[in-house]
Structure 1
Amino acid sequence: MGGWDAYNVTEDADLGFRLARFGYRSTTFVSTTFEEAPARFGGWLRQRSRWMKGWMQTWSVHMRRPWRLWSDAGAKGFFTLNAVVGGNVLTALCFPILAVDIAVGLLARSGGATEGLAASPITPLHLTTIVAGFVSTIVVGLMGLARRGQLRQGWILALTPVYWACLSIAAWRALYQLLNEPYRWEKTEHGLSPQIRSNATAQTPTIRAMATQRRRRYR
């Protein structure tokens, strides 16, 4: 596939679409990941900003010649890039603008004014779209928690609107970096969880032994 884009800060996204353009398919399988999620807001923000910036890079590179992308990846690949990669970024950027506009419009209507998005005939559609996004996100989260036997943690999903607002901060930060520091790589923090640290310490001798066996095998 010609390697990957060394300047893209989300190389997995770029590789996924390169695979599709070469006629390959990606799939998922049932598994458990023990990767540690960011434990602090600063680390989370840097991680999500990098992801958002990488998706912007992936979209802009592969959409440089849209007709070529359509020819290589087909209609499914073309619309997947725009809906999943471009759509996630666009909705994150637009969410605070739409939310503020709706709030201002509702306040204007309550005061008898007719300006603002809330006064337009398509306001119900905008509100329905936002509510549907919240509900679908919560339902998917509950499904995942149920499969892991963690439904008692489901209350946290009530903070989905706050999480979306944080994603918007990450998206706008990513856009700023794309224009000013496009190749800056903000690495994700790991090893902050006591449980992760203890597991890593316990597994270190085993990992070292496996590495030694591999070295002996390939000498």
Structure 2
Amino acid sequence: MNRLSFDDIKLCCKYNVVFLSDKQHIGHCGLSSDTRYKIRKFYKRKIRFVRISEKYRNAILQKYLIKYSTCIPENFCTAQNPKYKNIILFVIILLICYLANFFGNVGVYLLNLIYFLYYTMKFITIFACHKSTHNKNSSKIEKYPVYSIIIPLYKESHMVHSILNSVYSLEYPKNMLDVLVVLEEDDAETIEVVTQYQSERHFRSIIVPNSIPRTKSKACKYALPFVKGELLTIYDAEDIPEKDQLIKVSEVFMNNKDLFCVQCRLNFYNKEHNLLTKLLSIEYKIHFDFFLQSLANLALIVPLGGTSNHFNVHMLTQQNNWDPYNVTEDADIAVRYYKPRYITISNSYTYEESVYSLHAWIKQRSRWIKGFLQTFCTHSKEILQENDIKKQISFLMLFGIPNLIILTSPFVLFHNILYGYNSLYTAMNLLCFYITEVVLVIFVHKNLRNILIYLLYPVYLTFFLPVASYVALYSLYRNPYYWSKTEHTGKR
């Protein structure tokens, strides 16, 4: 039998049927005449229906879904392709050569120029172009579309009550909600808790069988054929979206038919817990409230957040969507689906739980950096061959240069300590970076109440991010598709 299309698999999930030896024979466990008519009408051909056992049907359907969510079709750029070990060894050799002064003044000047241009572009981008556009033009709609919500959970039994309460507190017609809780087969504890809640709440649970890779993107892709809505969003276990979020976003979609995705703003409900959570809250506010909005306004690539991205389901399913081997599915799909003004930023917030400790932060941030490195290695050849200068510049600005900066900045400092010359260029760049970030933070918050924390923000970027980047490199070398899970406490 030929490879099944997404529409074929979606039909199988909708009616609980499977294809047998060919697409002329459909196996089922009991179908009404009305359903048989709908299937024949969909395919516009004669179809023979064969009654089979439920166990046999479920086994075939599971096989379809595993193949769809893990197998890579031809001509699909995937994080499975790059030879990461060779790339990482090459990067290490270059860094050692730089530290050994193999490149002399040329290396120093080049890196400092890259640093200066990047921070100047980022500064100008945020200051000049951060005002929202789509949200102001949205008008009320008479009939809201069916809205699907995917909630991937793994080892999160203690978070089930919280996320279901958040979802069912949303101000959206309950009969238009299609909630799917996606679970892993080996997570018996969370499955048990979710089963208990199914008697109280109307949602479906999708159990993903054990298969490689074990990533969030694979789980979402496995659940996608079960989606019934015109719009789809993904929430993490600890998320608390604003109650009117779905209404706001659906109005944006209905008034802007060409939109692929609306990204909601993210921040933390526990941001006052300690110094780290305060610094992370500052970083999120700059990134989601200003930087992403600026990129969207300039029609550049907008790297999505890991949660609260709202999709047009029709557009999402027209391509092969998530790469199951990329550990930052959000960034990858933003590159994969890029078109000018295809993504916008909503003024609605979702509040998450910030990590509390430096160890948890390194674990989380190293996965993000690892995913951005995967995305850069996966798409760079294809994008640099395209005749789209805006796409190329934004791709390098988001996935190439930032990784270069955080990987090389400690080597630049050590180089100056070892050789003691050309330190003026580095000192000027560091001063420029420090002032830029502090001014940016003050501009974003528009007050000086927490000035001491603002002054520490560039220090956090300078010394913490390189540590996470080296952990990311090591993980990319040893286990490139390992999805390092962030633990949540559920405390507010």
TM superposition score normalised by structure 1: 0.71
Give the RMSD, CA atoms, in angstroms. 2.0
1:76-107 Cα shifts (integer Å, max 9, x gaps): 11111112211111110011111122233xxx
1:3 matched residue in structure 2: 321
List runs of 5+ in structure 2 lacking aligned partners: 1-318
> Could you tell me how far apart the structure 1 residues matched to 2:488 and 2:443 are?
27
1:29 matched residue in structure 2: 346
Quick check: which one's helix share is greater?
Answer: 1
- The code of the aligned residue for 2:410 comes to P
2:410 matched residue in structure 1: 96
> Could you tell me how far apart the structure 2 residues matched to 1:93 and 1:162 are?
15
**1:40 has 2:40 as partner:** no
Q: Percent identity?
A: 29
2:290 matched residue in structure 1: none
1:139-171 Cα shifts (integer Å, max 9, x gaps): 22223333xx6x423312322224421100000
* Superposed displacement of residue 32, structure 1: 2.9
CA change 1:189–1:61 in 2 (3 A) is same
Higher relative CO (Cα under 8 Å, sequence separation at least 6) belongs to 1
* Superposed displacement of residue 46, structure 1: 0.8
TM superposition score normalised by structure 2: 0.33
Which of 366, 386, 389 aligns to 1:75? It is: 389
For the pair shown, which has the larger CA radius of gyration, 1 or 2? 2
Quick check: which one's strand share is greater?
Answer: 2
CA contact (8 A) 1:145 1:153 kept: no
1:110 matched residue in structure 2: none
- The code of the aligned residue for 2:400 comes to G
> Could you tell me how far apart the structure 2 residues matched to 1:19 and 1:154 are?
40
CA contact (8 A) 2:384 2:392 kept: no
1:12 matched residue in structure 2: 330
CA change 1:32–1:23 in 2 (3 A) is closer
CA contact (8 A) 1:46 1:188 kept: yes
> Could you tell me how far apart the structure 2 residues matched to 1:50 and 1:37 are?
15
- The code of the aligned residue for 1:85 comes to F
CA contact (8 A) 1:8 1:183 kept: yes
> Could you tell me how far apart the structure 1 residues matched to 2:384 and 2:400 are?
17
> Could you tell me how far apart the structure 2 residues matched to 1:31 and 1:136 are?
27
- The code of the aligned residue for 1:28 comes to I
**1:156 has 2:453 as partner:** yes
List runs of 5+ in structure 1 lacking aligned partners: 105-115, 197-219
- The code of the aligned residue for 1:3 comes to N
1:201 matched residue in structure 2: none
> Could you tell me how far apart the structure 1 residues matched to 2:467 and 2:478 are?
17
> Could you tell me how far apart the structure 2 residues matched to 1:132 and 1:98 are?
15
2:464 matched residue in structure 1: 166
For 1:172-187, list aligned pairs within 5 A: 172-187=470-485
2:213 matched residue in structure 1: none
